[in-house]
Amino acid sequence: MDNFRFHIPTEVIFGRGAEAQVGETAAKYGTRALLVYGQGSVVRSGLLARVKASLEEAQIAVEEFGGAQPNPTLAHAEEGVRKALAMDADVIIAVGGGSAIDTAKGIAHGAANAGEKLWDLWTKKVPLTKSLPVGAVLTMPAAGSEMSDSAVLTDTDLGRKAGINTPFNRCRFAVMDPEWGATLPPYQIAAGVTDIMMHTMERYFIPDVKCDLTDEIAEGLLRAVVKNGAIAVKDPADYDAMAEVFWASSLSHNNLTECGRGKDFSVHKLGHPLSARYGVTHGASLAAVWGAWAQTLYRDCPTRFAKFARSVWGADDADDLTAAEKGIARTVDFFRSIGMPTNLGELNVGIGADDLHQLALDATLNDTLRLSRIRPLDAEAVEGIYHRAMDRRISDDR
C-alpha cells in the first residue's frame, strides 16, 4: 500500500427535501451568494426557486448566473467572475451537475484572485493560493465535482480542455436530493453512470500495489453502479436506485477509491480532446475509447484486469487472460446496454482517420506527456488507441 493523505472537508446534506437546508448551510460562509446554473432545467423544475427561497429566508442576498453548458467553458466562467466581483459575492453556489459546479469553482478562483487571468490560474502558470467558498446543490450524479478536488474547463479559442486539482476545489457543502434525478433524460443519466464508473476504474487499473480494502470499496461501488445505474436509466423516478447512483457519484471522485493506490486518468486524457474539439458529452467520450484503451493494455497487467472481471462481473475463468478479456467485453456490453457509444464512429461527429494524429497530440500535450501507469503511452501509442477505437468491431470482441 502506498502512502496517502485523505481529507474531505465537504459537508453532505442528503435526502428528500435536502434543498430546504441550503440557506442555513450557506450562511456559515457568506451573506451574498451567486447562484450558478446551466441551461434552465433547474428553473423549469422549480428547484432554483426553492434554493433561492431557502437562501433568502437565511437573509442571504442572491444573484443568478445561468448558461453553464456541458463541457463548461473558460469564457463563461470569466463572465461569472465579473458578475461575482460586481456584486461582491462571498459564496458561490452551483445548482446542477458537474458543468455548473466546475463553472462555480472557476468563478470562485477568479473572483478571489481578481488581478490574475483565470486560465493562468487554471493551468498553474500562476499559483492558486486562495478562493471563495463554493457550495453545490446536485441535480445530476456524474462528475463527482460536488466532493472532488478537481474541475475542468475548456478554452474554446485554444480548443483545449484542461483540469486542475487543488484543495481549493473542494466544495464546502453539497446538498443532494435524489428526487431531482427524475427530471433528467435517460442519456444524461447513462453518461453520468459511465463517468462514475470511469472515476473508479481510473484509480483501479494500477498494477503492483497491494491495497485490499480500497479494492473492496472500489469493486463494491462498481457493482452498485452497474446494478442501480441500469435501473435509473430505465426509470429515473426509482428513488432507491437514483439515491445509490447519487452517492456513488460522490464517493467515486472524492479520492476514497485511490487511498493507498493513487490514480491514472489516462482514459480521461483520451476523452478530453473529443469533448474539446467536437463537443462530445464527457461520459460518452470515455465510453467510446475505454474498450480500445483496455484491449491495448490488458496484456501488460492481466492479473489486475482479471481481478476486475471476477470481482465486478462474476467471471469464473481460471486463466487470467481469458477472465480479463471477458471483463472488458462485459464492460463494453454494459455501456452499450445503457445507450452509450462504444467506439468513435458511434459518436457521429465526423471523426476521420486523418484527425487521430491531432487528437493524440492533444491528449499528450504535443507528445510531452506519457499516459498510463500500466505502460507509458506516447503520442504514437495513443494514436494507435484512437485508431483501434475507430474500428466498430471493438464493441463486438469477446
For 92-121, give the secondary structure using H, E and C.
Answer: EEEEECHHHHHHHHHHHHHHHCCCCCHHHH
The answer, yes or no, to whether residue 161 has pLDDT greater than 90, is no
Q: What is the pLDDT of residue 394?
A: 47
Confidence label for 396 from pLDDT (cuts 50, 70 and 90): very low
Confidence label for 144 from pLDDT (cuts 50, 70 and 90): very high
Confidence label for 42 from pLDDT (cuts 50, 70 and 90): very high
- Supply φ then ψ for residue 44, to 5 degrees: -65, -35
Q: Which domains does the chain have, with CATH numbers?
A: 11-179 (3.40.50.1970), 186-396 (1.20.1090.10)
Q: What is the pLDDT of residue 395?
A: 43
Question: Quick one: CA torsion of 41, 45, 51, 52, rounded to 10 degrees?
Answer: 80
Question: Is there a contact between 81 and 52 (Cβ–Cβ < 8 Å)?
Answer: no
Q: What is the pLDDT of residue 89?
A: 98
Q: What is the pLDDT of residue 27?
A: 97
- CA pair distance 259, 255, nearest whole angstrom: 7
pLDDT tens-digit series, residues 2-26: 899 889 999 999 999 999 999 999 9
Q: What is the pLDDT of residue 159?
A: 86
The answer, yes or no, to whether residue 393 has pLDDT greater than 80, is no
Q: What is the pLDDT of residue 5?
A: 87
Expressed in angstroms, the distance from the first to the final Cα of the chain is: 33
pLDDT tens-digit series, residues 171-224: 999 999 999 999 899 999 999 999 999 999 999 999 999 999 999 999 999 999
Strand, coil or helix: 397 = coil
Confidence label for 78 from pLDDT (cuts 50, 70 and 90): very high
Kindly state the average pLDDT of the residues 231-252: 97
The answer, yes or no, to whether residue 372 has pLDDT greater than 50, is yes
Name the more confident of 162 and 296: 296
Question: Is there a contact between 106 and 77 (Cβ–Cβ < 8 Å)?
Answer: yes
What residues contact 220, with CB distance under 8 A and at least 6 apart? none
Kindly state the average pLDDT of the residues 28-50: 94
Q: What is the pLDDT of residue 35?
A: 97
Confidence label for 397 from pLDDT (cuts 50, 70 and 90): very low
Confidence label for 129 from pLDDT (cuts 50, 70 and 90): very high
Question: Is there a contact between 363 and 272 (Cβ–Cβ < 8 Å)?
Answer: yes
The answer, yes or no, to whether residue 30 has pLDDT greater than 90, is yes
Return the residue matching grid coordinates 442571504: 60
Q: What is the pLDDT of residue 153?
A: 94
Q: What is the pLDDT of residue 391?
A: 76
The per-residue b/e assignment along 216-248, b for 16 or more CB within 10 angstroms, e otherwise, is ebbbbbbebbbebbbebbeebebbebbbbbbbb
The answer, yes or no, to whether residue 228 has pLDDT greater than 70, is yes
Stated pTM of the model: 0.90
Q: What is the pLDDT of residue 392?
A: 58
In this structure, the number of other CB atoms found within 10 A of the CB of residue 63 comes to 13
Q: What is the mean pLDDT of the chain?
A: 94
pLDDT tens-digit series, residues 303-327: 999 999 999 999 999 999 999 999 9
DSSP state of 171: -
